[in-house]
Amino acid sequence: MRHQKKNTHLRYGIIAVSFAVICLVYIVVLAVVQARGSQTKYASDEAGTRTVTVAGLRGEIYDCRGRLLVGNSTSYDLIYEYGAMPDTYAEINRALLDTLDAIEITGNTDKLCSDFFPLEGIYPNVRYCSAISDTASSEYYYLSRVLKRNGLDADTTAEELAEYYVKQYRLSQRLYSDDEIRDLMRLWYEMNRVNFGIYQAYTVAEGVSMELVTYIQEKGVEGVTFKTVSERVYNYPGIASHILGRVGKITAEDAEYYSELGYPMDSFVGTSGCELAFESILHGQDGKMVIKYDDDGNITEKYYETEPISGNDVWLTIDIDLQLAAEKGLAESIEATGSSEAGAITAVDPNTGAVLAIGSFPTYDLSQFSSIEYYNSLLNDPNTPLLNRALQGVYAPGSTYKVGVALAALQNGEISTSTHYTCNKVYPHFHNPTCLGTHGSIDIFDAIQESCNVFFYSLGEKMGIKSVTDYTQALGLGVSTGIELSERVGTVAGPDYRQAHNDIWTAGADDVSAAIGQSDHGYTPLQLSVYMASIVNGGTRYSAHLLDSVRNFYTDEAISVYTPTVADTVPISDYTYSTLIESMRRVVANNSEISRYFKGISVSVGGKTGTAEVTGKRDYALFSGFAPLNAPEIVVSCIIEEGQHGYYASIAAARVMEEYFNTQDDNTPKN
């Protein structure tokens, strides 16, 4: 089956264009240097070899139906190449100023590279910037190197440094304005700092527009060349940001790790999400082009030492239509509460462990992430939009936990469908915990439907929480889901947890609290979906996973396909299974506050609501549901912080199921 990816010829075209640009750069350099010979003021005194890295394109990320989520686009870096510079200082200075003018005229000033220029003020009234007084600063470090490289004393003053540049590079006030002198000094200083020459180009601006490229070419500005750069493009800006993740330059902390893998230290690598998780798949292998020079700096030979190789593509289990529905539905649920500002939602295939959607609110837009202002706004947002609540948020499961308690009680023979407990609102033990209603004599079906606390208090006291957590852990609560992204495993309530934290578990009192999903229980929204999936598929816990397949960058051919992995199994009898499914059917069908959201779905839905008490906050709202009843295909769990009522969390789940059952009747690609 083919998918909507760009034409294969286009991918080859990108490689060809990139190679052509590189070749053109060096042809220009060769022509200029050979034409000038040794007249250049920067001629090398000795022959040598320069090795240039040619980046392999990064693999792209698709959804489960082949729709491009994260791709590549071509951008350009404006650089000065030594061999292409004019002959005289007057010509070079004019070229430098023309470059700055072109950058400003075309609106690319925000693309200028950061610099470490140490002078402030307008010539001749200059001073060192405040950073120079800090010997640990980058400005101080580079100034020391520049002074030494130019034969200047370590105690050279700001005025003396400025005069050096004015004299060395012919920056007369008769020829240039004070502003121009300042700009030229800045550029010359930066070229000194990077040791600009035959073996080292200087990058002036990164990611510039094609308008600037065209403008420079039309004006014929000397010395300027453009390096073709591949950048990430997000086809659904603001969607799936917590899943997809980001790329960035290798950090100092990771330098040793990537160095051992053979990465050049200026490589871009995955720093979060799928970009990080599947780095070894996506990352292309850089090639090496060798450039040889003679004594006069003329290029005598160039060849590939190693060819660049593109990375492979990753197809995720995520369905972008479900992802869109999940994030939109989550925002709708949160707005409906009138009190919440955050939440999370997850959807999984209960028969494979494939993750179909993951949403966390508030979220952010990866396409804006490079903006410092935008990034700082995210950092300062009290609702922590950078936090992936679906995998990193740990929440008490509330009444959704009662399904696991019922399963343990039924499987262990502690109760049957004919077992009744009497609910008079107050449980007459252990400081008299209460129920939300007075249910009278109640069986397991009604206890789950009405979410009767007293019924489950009774089971908690009778069984002890350890009898329950043996089941719920095997079903997925409090253990790793197996997903490839970073996640928290949460906490399992019980004596072991208390002992590990130098606290005491009080038998009876703590057991009854834990039996209704409170106490020390804390689980992620994805764990909640895995837990519910393990129940409704009959007791098999599959490892959650985002990787669907790895495919060749050019041909789309599958290199490997993920095989579902069984992480654990739990014995669930037909009797227990049918009891739980029927109970959860009633939760949805017999509660008008919930059923109204599922009326538009073409199959029957089951599920369980919950409210979790949180100290100092309004109750959190939860819902975990599945469909169809007779052969579940999808499980959706939603948590709304301070949502107060579980039915609010069911809104988002209903939106995902609507999308799944009403609009996804085939597996063909969609535009």
Mean pLDDT for the stretch of residues 251-274: 88
The total domain count for the chain is: 1
Q: Which residues contact 230 (CB under 8 A, 6 or more apart)?
A: 14, 55, 57, 58, 72, 73, 74, 75
Report the pLDDT value the prediction gives residue 218, as an integer from 0 to 100.
Answer: 87
If DSSP codes are grouped into helix, strand and coil, which group holds residue 621? strand
Closest CA to 362 of 387, 339, 325: 387
Q: Kindly state the percentage of the chain with pLDDT values over 70.
A: 90
Report the pLDDT value the prediction gives residue 24, as an integer from 0 to 100.
Answer: 46
Q: Which two tokens stand for residue 240?
A: 């799936």
Q: What is the pTM of this model?
A: 0.78
Which residue(s) pair with 361 in the sheet? Answer: 343
φ and ψ at 422, to 5 degrees?
Answer: -100, 125
If DSSP codes are grouped into helix, strand and coil, which group holds residue 364? coil
Classify residue 521 by burial, with Cβ atoms within 10 Å: 0-12, 13-18, 19+. buried
Which of 154-158, 295-299, 312-316, 454-458 is predicted with the least confidence, judged by mean pLDDT? Answer: 295-299
In a domain, 192, yes or no: no
Distance CA 363, CA 259 (A): 33
Annotate 128-162 with b (16+ C-beta within 10 A) or e (fewer): bbeebeeeebebbebbeebbeeeeeeeebebeebb
> H or E stretch including 123?
none
Q: What's the Cα-to-Cα distance from 133 to each of 127, 138, 152, 192, 497, rounded to whole Å?
A: 12, 11, 18, 21, 52
CATH number of the domain that residue 453 is part of:
3.40.710.10
Report the pLDDT value the prediction gives residue 16, as an integer from 0 to 100.
Answer: 52
If DSSP codes are grouped into helix, strand and coil, which group holds residue 234? strand
In a domain, 552, yes or no: yes
Q: Which two tokens stand for residue 516?
A: 């209704």
In a domain, 204, yes or no: no
Cis peptide before 124 (omega within 30 of 0): yes
Report the pLDDT value the prediction gives residue 52, as an integer from 0 to 100.
Answer: 66
Q: Which two tokens stand for residue 158?
A: 């700001």
Q: How confident is the model at residue 45 (pLDDT cuts 50, 70, 90)?
A: very low
pLDDT over threshold 70, residue 35: no
φ and ψ at 519, to 5 degrees?
Answer: 60, -130
Closest CA to 75 of 55, 96, 98: 55
Report the pLDDT value the prediction gives residue 293, as an integer from 0 to 100.
Answer: 66
Report the pLDDT value the prediction gives residue 533, as an integer from 0 to 100.
Answer: 98
Report the pLDDT value the prediction gives residue 399, as an integer from 0 to 100.
Answer: 97
Distance CA 38, CA 556 (A): 51
Which of 279-293, 378-392, 612-626 is predicted with the least confidence, judged by mean pLDDT? Answer: 279-293
Which 3-state string (H, E, C) describes 518-571? CCCCEECHHHHHHHHHHHHCCCEEECCECEEEEECCCCCCEEEECCCCEEEECC
If DSSP codes are grouped into helix, strand and coil, which group holds residue 361? strand
Report the pLDDT value the prediction gives residue 389, as an integer from 0 to 100.
Answer: 98
pLDDT over threshold 80, residue 508: yes
Report the pLDDT value the prediction gives residue 668, as an integer from 0 to 100.
Answer: 45
In a domain, 149, yes or no: no
Q: Which two tokens stand for residue 321?
A: 């239509």
CB atoms within 10 A of CB 207: 14
Which of 24-38, 172-186, 339-353 is predicted with the least confidence, judged by mean pLDDT? Answer: 24-38
Report the pLDDT value the prediction gives residue 53, as an integer from 0 to 100.
Answer: 64
Mean pLDDT for the stretch of residues 150-157: 94
Report the pLDDT value the prediction gives residue 307, as an integer from 0 to 100.
Answer: 83
Q: Which residues contact 135 (CB under 8 A, 6 or more apart)?
A: none
Say which DSSP state 284 is in. Answer: P
Q: How confident is the model at residue 296 (pLDDT cuts 50, 70, 90)?
A: low
Distance CA 245, CA 567 (A): 26
If DSSP codes are grouped into helix, strand and coil, which group holds residue 15? helix
8 A C-beta contact, residue 275 and residue 54: no
More confident site: 123 or 34 = 123
Report the pLDDT value the prediction gives residue 302, as an integer from 0 to 100.
Answer: 73
Report the pLDDT value the prediction gives residue 370, as an integer from 0 to 100.
Answer: 83
Amino acid letter for position 206: E
In a domain, 538, yes or no: yes
Q: Which two tokens stand for residue 213?
A: 């490229």
Mean pLDDT for the stretch of residues 249-262: 88
pLDDT over threshold 90, residue 33: no
Write out pLDDT tens, residues 588-620.
999 999 999 999 899 999 999 999 999 999 999
Q: How confident is the model at residue 6 (pLDDT cuts 50, 70, 90)?
A: very low
pLDDT over threshold 50, residue 26: no
Mean pLDDT for the stretch of residues 523-547: 98
If DSSP codes are grouped into helix, strand and coil, which group holds residue 53? strand
Mean pLDDT for the stretch of residues 358-382: 94
Which of 240-249, 365-374, 445-454, 658-667 is predicted with the least confidence, judged by mean pLDDT? Answer: 658-667
**Domain encompassing residue 330:** 320-373+391-662
Report the pLDDT value the prediction gives residue 29, as an integer from 0 to 100.
Answer: 43
In a domain, 54, yes or no: no
Closest CA to 322 of 286, 340, 349, 304: 349
Q: What's the Cα-to-Cα distance from 159 to each of 89, 162, 171, 185, 449, rounded to whole Å?
A: 22, 5, 14, 12, 82
pLDDT over threshold 60, residue 290: yes
Mean pLDDT for the stretch of residues 362-386: 94
Mean pLDDT for the stretch of residues 233-249: 95
Q: What's the Cα-to-Cα distance from 232 to each of 57, 248, 324, 386, rounded to whole Å?
A: 10, 10, 20, 19
Q: Which residues contact 189 (CB under 8 A, 6 or more apart)?
A: 115, 117, 118, 119, 146, 165
Mean per-residue pLDDT over the chain, rounded: 89
Write out pLDDT tens, residues 47-67.
577 676 667 889 999 999 999
CB atoms within 10 A of CB 351: 18
In a domain, 131, yes or no: no
Distance CA 249, CA 254 (A): 10
Q: Which two tokens stand for residue 594?
A: 């919930």
In a domain, 25, yes or no: no
Closest CA to 57 of 26, 19, 83: 19
If DSSP codes are grouped into helix, strand and coil, which group holds residue 230? strand
More confident site: 87 or 68 = 68
Instruction: Strands of 362-437 (E only): list them.
Output: 421-423
